[in-house]
Structure 1
């Protein structure tokens, strides 16, 4: 029967049935995106070498130059042992804040974010992938640094569970805060080419004022006060509480490890980074309209 005959007979032809395609959950997409981001990261050999080798190279340089110093901050503490927590902290900042702030700016400049925004992938899955990639690479980088410190420079690692629990929450909060702040800061560079020039000096200045390269109590008081406003100081202090004996806490500004203040500052930067990132993140270049 033709369509005309059907209409004359009062029969209305039903439209073809639509097949609905249900996307996987955001968590599943985020995990898949994490795998993709990790593969992309390891394809960029220069970034891999910098992120993984920088803390190890700096530890080697400073431990060699100042290796004769002992009783740093506490009896029996060598310079390599004192320097290790700062390198762990700066490694976290490199693999989270600096790496994301730079790569996202480049992806935006090259149009990758604009194309990605036109796909069905939820924005939340994209950000979960970035954070997941940071967690994976930061964990690998930290593990490599600890192995080198223990094997090459005989730095004693913690032997009790409580210190490793402290290490876990300080590392997790520091990595998460650095990741979301990196996402938020990625909107500051005007182009992908200027991203490194904008991000790298910020990280270098924070390293110097936060007691990463020197004993924190040797820094001027005004520099110590300035560093207390930024998370790297607290991240390094939290790591010192893991790898240094309890007697070294007396050398800290407050005379203790201040775990409560460390957690509060890192959580605050995590929240602030989320809010700023949600409000300022851009999928396209500034000149794209």
Structure 2
């Protein structure tokens, strides 16, 4: 049997086991879905407000952007912190000791994080279908658009999260890595239209996948007339496909290289040294 294919199958099994453990551990499950619950509360209290200059619900306008932000956070920060923590506790070292173990490990994490991302989106989306007015969810095209943007968004962000996790030696420094992610979200048009930013800042926001994930989700869930309030006055599906696709290719090329280099540096002595440093900080 092909070793890589065998590793992929083992990774899928590992991811499903970790998913079952997460879903059956109340504290872990709550920690995962808490942000989505907070987003849902925000949408509830903004459902009666309107987008400035229109009669359209502000909550309905914000919902797709929050879904895009959920994908970004899951793909980047969740994947990043998982690798950083399991690098310190020796999980990655054990995976390295198995033939094609890093492939299986990465596939397992992708299965776990992708599944929890879909669950978080469902926590936000399903109640919002009943709470918010104006959502365009009555056509097959809307759901197909939501599906391809979701899949491409995960492919664009999960490898980048793995790269960030491989670069962080101490999981307690993960908060510093989250700050740039928060900065990207701030200039992505999710909470404030890009037209309100200086041209150079708006252009910078359009370089990264956060803006395009939000735009793609808005194109899936909002009426076509709402495209007029977007920065370019349209949904820009081809541009969304191109930018997310470019980030996906970059991540898929970079992630295996960075992970292999990180795995080569892993050793029992390195794991022990990190544990001792962690115990000293806790003492």
TM range (shorter): 0.7 to 0.9
User: Using the alignment, how far apart are the partners of 1:127 and 1:172 within structure 2?
Assistant: 17
CA distance, structure 2, for counterparts of residue 134 and residue 184 of structure 1: 15
Is 1:288 aligned to residue 267 of structure 2? no
Q: Indicate which of 32, 42, 67 corresponds to 1:51.
A: 32
Query: Within 2, Cα distance between the matches of 1:155 and 1:279?
Result: 45
Find out whether 1:138 has 2:117 as its counterpart: yes
Q: What residue number does 1:194 align with?
A: 173
Which residue of the partner structure matches residue 243 of structure 1? 221
The alpha carbon displacement at 1:27 in A equals: 3.7
Q: Is the 8 A contact 2:155 2:248 kept in 1?
A: yes
3-state DSSP of counterpart to 1:187: helix
Q: Structure 1: any 5+ residue segments left out of the alignment?
A: 1-21
CA–CA separation in structure 1 for the residues paired with 2:59 and 2:187: 19
Deviation at 1:155, TM superposition (A): 5.8
1:166-205 to 2 correspondence within 5 Å? 166-195=145-174, 197-205=175-183
> What's the C-alpha RMSD, in Å, of the aligned pairs?
2.7
Question: How far apart, in 2, do the equivalents of 1:56 and 1:221 lie?
Answer: 34
Equivalent of residue 191 in structure 2, options 184, 191, 213: 213
Provide closer, same or farther for how the CA distance between residues 23 and 139 of structure 1 changes in structure 2, counting only shifts above 3 A: closer
Of Structure 1 and Structure 2, the greater helix share is in 2
CA drift at 1:59: 4.1
Q: Is the 8 A contact 2:76 2:161 kept in 1?
A: yes
Unaligned runs of 5+ in 2: 272-283
Equivalent pairs counted in the alignment come to 266
Alignment of 1:11-50 (within 5 A): 25-42=6-23, 48-50=29-31
Q: 1:44 to 1:107 in 2, by over 3 A?
A: farther
Bigger mean CA offset, 256-265 vs 24-33:
24-33
Q: Structure 1 residues 61 and 103, CA, compared in 2 at 3 Å: closer, same or farther?
A: same
Structure 2 CA distance for partners of 1:216 and 1:49, relative to 1, 3 Å:
farther
CA distance in 2, matches of 1:234, 1:174: 9
In the other structure, the counterpart of 1:233 is 211
Q: Is the 8 A contact 1:51 1:95 kept in 2?
A: no
Asked if structure 2 preserves the Cα contact closer than 8 Å seen for 1:234 and 1:262, the reply is yes
